[in-house]
Amino acid sequence: MLFKIKTFLYDAIKHIVEENGTLSYRLLHSVDFLFCFYWLIRVLFLLLMFLDPERFPLYRYDYASLYFWNHRNILNKFFMIIQIE
């Protein structure tokens, strides 16, 4: 198992070194950055919904927000456990 991890890491680093500076590499990382930015915005919207659900009822428009809103009691207990520790 350790050998497979080392091989995977070696192949990933080799790919980065060989493809660095090419158009496809830049495009791939641009798309990766956009996806990360998109998920960051969604997480911030979820946080906004938890802080003020009266003003920001996002659970009406987004399926992920609706899931978190329906299971907010479980999430609140989870956050309380994290806060206690």
Binning pLDDT at 50, 70 and 90, where does residue 8 land?
Answer: confident
What are the tokens at 46?
């979820």
Could you give the CA distance from residue 20 to residue 61 in angstroms, rounded to a whole number?
A: 40
The most confident of the ranges 32-36, 59-63, 69-73 is 32-36
**Is the pLDDT score of 84 beyond 80?**
no
pTM of the model: 0.52
Residue 82 has a pLDDT of 74
**Is the pLDDT score of 85 beyond 70?**
no
Task: Please choose, from the candidates 49, 41, 39, the residue with its C-alpha nearest in 3D space to the C-alpha of residue 72.
Answer: 49
